[in-house]
C-alpha cells in the first residue's frame, strides 16, 4: 500500500477560491484504494462553512516551537467521499473571514502550516511515502523535511512532489523576516537555494528541495522555462527540467454532466445536444432579458475579470463585437475597470450583453449549457478549467494558444472537419476578434460542421481519471 499525503491551502468541498481546490479535492478519489492510501491536509480556517466543520472530529493536539513561541497545533479529521482529510487547527493563524488575508501575514501563517503538517505526522501515526505539495503555501515542506526533520527514522526517505498551479504567486518576503519566522538558518539564504533578490521565497524552496516538480499542463511546463513566463524562476526550472513534467488537470465528470445536471433546465448528451442546448439558450435569454432569437451567436464568459484572462483584449474590441449579430453573457468579478466596462456595454446594448458581476455556481452551469461558444483569450493559463467544462457541455471554446488552452482545444480544420474549438496565437486584440468572427461564420454558414465540433468536444475525456493515471506513474517512479 503506497501512502500519499496532499498538502494544500484549499480543497473542495471544505474551502475554495480557485482551481487549486478542485485539484486537491477531486484527484485523491481517483486512485485505486487497494493500492494507494491518499489523504489530504488543509488548514482549519474559521471561515469554513459550519456544515463542513460538523463533519470534523477532534484527533489530537500538541505544542510546537514556531517563531520563538510555543504554539498550539490541533488536528481534526473528516472523511468525505472515501478520502480522509486532516485539518491543522490554530485560531491565531487561521481565524478571519477568508483563507488569504494579507501577503506578509499569509507568509507566516503558511510557514506555520508547513511545519505543523510535518510535526503532526508521527502524532497521528501516518507516515506517507510521498508528500504532494501544492503551490507556494506548501513550499517549505520539502525544505523543512531536508532540514530539521531528518533526525529520526520516521521522516527519512519520504519523497516530495511540488506542483505549480500558478507561478505568478511565490510566497516571498524579506530574507531577515523570512529566516526569523521560518526558523531556517543563513545556509538557506543563498541564490542556489531560497533567496531571490532580497527575499526568501517559499515556492523556490519547494522547487529546489522536492524530488519531482509538476505543473498543470504540458505546454505550461515548457513555457515556464522561458523568461516571459518564468517569473524569475525560469533558470531554476531549466536546471531541473529532467524532474519537471506537465499533467493536465481534469474536471469532475459527476459534477459537470449535462445529462443529469440539476442546475440546468433541459438535460442532454452528445446525441441530442444541438436541440436541447437551443432550449437552454432560449431559457437563458428569457432569464437575462436578452433578445429572444435562436440564431443569435451567444458567447459565454465565466472568469475572474483580470488582465491575465485577456480582458484588455476584449475591452479593446467590445464595441466592434457589439456591432455584430451576437450576444455576450458574462459572469464573474475582478478588476473594477473590467467590471465597469461590461456594465457599460450591458447598459448600452441591453438586448446583446448581459453583465452578471458576481459569482454563482448555478449560473455558471447555465452558461456552459446554453451558450454556443465560450471565449477565453488568456495572456497565460497554466491549465484552465472553464474550457474543459465548456467542451463537456458542447459549448465551443475560442481560446488563445497558451498553456493548458493549447493542450486541450484542438483548432477546427474546415477541410477535414476535425477540431473541438477555435484558437489564435498572438496576444493581439484583432487576432482575437478575427477568431471570434471566424467561429461566427462557421456557426452561420456551416451549421453541420458546427454541430460536428460540438460532438467532437463532448467526446473528449478530461475526467480526473485520465490525470490520476499520469500522477500514479510519477508516484510509482518516485516511490519504487
259-281 pLDDT per residue, tens: 999 999 999 999 999 999 999 99
Q: Which residues of 151-174 are buried (b: 16+ CB within 10 A; e: fewer)?
A: eeeebeebbbbbbbbbbebbbbbe
Nearest C-alpha neighbor of 380 from the set 397, 402, 399 = 402
Tell me the sheet residues that pair with 214.
Answer: 163, 245
In this prediction, residue 255 carries a pLDDT of 87
Same CATH fold assignment for domains 2-250+465-479 and 273-461: yes
Nearest C-alpha neighbor of 369 from the set 437, 298, 459, 321 = 298
In this prediction, residue 252 carries a pLDDT of 86
**Rounded to 5°, angle at Cα 19 from 17 and 23:** 120
Residue 336 scores a pLDDT above 90: yes
Return d(Cα 88, Cα 67) in angstroms, integer.
17
User: What average pLDDT score do residues 27-55 get?
Assistant: 96
Q: Helix 336-348 and helix 311-322: axis angle, to 10°?
A: 10
User: What average pLDDT score do residues 274-292 get?
Assistant: 97
Other C-beta atoms within 10 Å of 228: how many? 10
Return d(Cα 447, Cα 273) in angstroms, integer.
14
Q: Say if CB 398 and CB 376 are below 8 A apart.
A: yes
Q: Where are the beta strands (DSSP E) in 93-227?
A: 130-134, 159-164, 172-174, 195-196, 199-201, 212-215
Residue 148 scores a pLDDT above 90: no
| Positive or negative: CA dihedral 71, 103, 230, 314 | positive
Q: Say if CB 237 and CB 460 are below 8 A apart.
A: no
In this prediction, residue 480 carries a pLDDT of 82
In this prediction, residue 112 carries a pLDDT of 98
When the candidates are 3.90.550.10, 3.40.140.10, 3.30.2320.80, 3.40.50.2000, the CATH number that belongs to 2-250+465-479 is 3.40.50.2000
Return d(Cα 426, Cα 429) in angstroms, integer.
9
Tell me what the pLDDT averaged over the chain comes to: 96
Position 254 confidence tier, pLDDT thresholds 50, 70, 90: confident
User: What average pLDDT score do residues 222-229 get?
Assistant: 96
Helix (H, G, I), strand (E, B) or coil at 105: helix
Residue 152 scores a pLDDT above 80: no
Q: Which residues of 343-363 are buried (b: 16+ CB within 10 A; e: fewer)?
A: eebbeebeebbbbbbeeeeeb
55-90 pLDDT per residue, tens: 999 999 999 999 999 999 999 999 999 999 999 999
In this prediction, residue 113 carries a pLDDT of 98
Domain residue limits, the chain: 2-250+465-479, 273-461
User: What average pLDDT score do residues 285-307 get?
Assistant: 96
Whole-prediction pTM: 0.90
User: What average pLDDT score do residues 373-401 get?
Assistant: 97
In this prediction, residue 19 carries a pLDDT of 82
164-200 pLDDT per residue, tens: 999 999 999 999 999 999 999 999 999 999 999 999 9
80-121 pLDDT per residue, tens: 999 999 999 999 999 999 999 999 999 999 999 999 999 999
Return d(Cα 176, Cα 180) in angstroms, integer.
6
In this prediction, residue 137 carries a pLDDT of 98
CATH 3.30.2420.10 fits 273-461, yes or no: no
Sequence-distant (≥ 6) Cβ neighbours of residue 473 within 8 angstroms: none
User: What average pLDDT score do residues 425-454 get?
Assistant: 98
Residue 151 scores a pLDDT above 80: no
Return d(Cα 257, Cα 466) in angstroms, integer.
17
Amino acid at each position: 500500500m503506497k501512502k500519499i499525503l496532499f498538502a494544500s491551502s484549499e480543497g473542495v468541498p471544505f474551502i475554495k477560491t480557485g482551481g487549486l481546490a478542485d485539484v486537491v479535492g477531486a484527484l485523491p478519489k481517483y486512485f485505486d484504494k487497494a493500492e494507494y492510501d491518499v489523504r489530504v491536509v488543509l488548514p482549519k480556517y474559521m471561515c469554513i462553512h459550519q456544515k463542513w466543520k460538523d463533519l470534523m472530529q477532534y484527533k489530537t493536539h500538541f505544542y510546537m516551537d514556531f517563531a520563538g513561541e510555543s504554539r498550539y497545533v490541533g488536528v481534526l479529521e473528516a472523511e468525505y467521499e472515501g478520502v480522509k482529510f486532516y485539518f491543522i487547527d490554530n485560531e491565531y493563524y487561521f481565524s478571519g473571514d477568508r483563507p488569504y488575508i494579507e501577503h506578509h501575514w499569509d507568509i507566516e501563517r503558511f510557514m506555520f502550516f508547513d511545519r505543523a503538517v510535518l510535526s503532526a505526522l508521527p502524532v497521528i501515526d501516518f507516515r506517507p511515502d510521498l508528500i504532494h505539495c501544492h503551490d507556494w503555501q506548501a513550499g517549505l515542506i520539502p525544505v523543512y523535511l531536508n532540514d530539521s526533520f531528518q533526525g529520526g527514522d520516521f521522516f527519512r526517505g519520504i519523497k516530495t512532489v511540488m506542483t505549480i498551479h500558478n507561478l505568478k504567486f511565490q510566497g516571498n518576503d524579506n530574507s531577515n523576516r523570512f529566516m526569523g519566522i521560518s526558523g531556517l538558518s543563513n545556509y538557506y539564504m543563498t541564490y542556489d537555494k531560497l533567496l531571490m533578490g532580497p527575499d526568501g521565497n517559499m515556492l523556490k524552496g519547494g522547487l529546489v528541495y522536492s524530488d519531482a516538480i509538476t505543473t498543470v499542463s504540458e505546454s505550461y511546463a515548457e513555457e515556464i522555462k522561458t523568461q516571459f513566463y518564468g517569473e524569475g524562476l525560469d533558470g531554476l526550472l531549466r536546471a531541473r527540467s529532467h524532474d519537471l513534467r506537465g499533467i493536465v488537470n481534469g474536471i469532475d465528470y459527476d459534477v459537470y454532466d449535462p445529462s443529469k445536471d440539476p442546475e440546468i433546465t433541459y438535460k442532454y448528451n452528445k446525441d441530442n445536444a444541438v436541440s436541447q442546448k437551443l432550449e437552454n439558450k432560449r431559457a437563458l435569454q428569457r432569464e437575462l432579458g436578452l433578445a429572444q432569437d435562436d440564431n443569435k451567436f451567444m458567447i459565454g464568459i465565466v472568469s475572474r475579470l483580470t488582465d491575465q484572462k485577456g480582458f484588455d483584449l476584449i475591452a479593446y474590441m467590445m464595441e466592434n463585437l457589439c456591432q455584430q449579430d451576437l450576444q455576450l453573457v458574462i459572469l464573474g468579478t475582478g478588476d473594477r475597470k473590467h467590471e465597469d466596462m461590461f456594465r457599460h456595454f450591458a447598459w448600452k446594448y441591453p438586448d446583446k450583453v448581459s453583465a452578471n458581476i458576481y459569482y454563482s455556481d448555478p449560473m455558471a452551469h447555465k452558461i456552459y449549457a446554453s451558450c454556443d461558444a465560450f471565449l477565453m483569450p488568456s495572456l497565460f493559463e497554466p491549465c484552465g478549467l472553464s474550457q474543459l467544462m465548456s467542451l463537456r457541455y458542447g459549448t465551443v471554446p475560442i481560446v488563445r494558444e497558451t498553456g493548458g488552452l493549447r493542450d486541450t482545444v484542438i483548432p477546427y480544420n474546415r477541410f477535414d472537419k476535425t477540431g473541438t474549438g477555435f484558437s489564435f496565437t498572438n496576444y493581439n486584440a484583432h487576432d482575437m476578434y478575427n477568431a471570434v468572427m471566424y467561429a461566427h461564420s462557421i456557426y452561420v454558414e456551416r451549421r453541420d460542421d458546427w454541430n460536428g465540433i460540438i460532438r467532437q468536444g463532448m467526446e473528449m475525456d478530461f475526467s480526473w481519471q485520465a490525470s490520476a493515471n499520469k500522477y500514479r506513474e510519477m508516484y510509482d517512479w518516485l516511490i519504487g
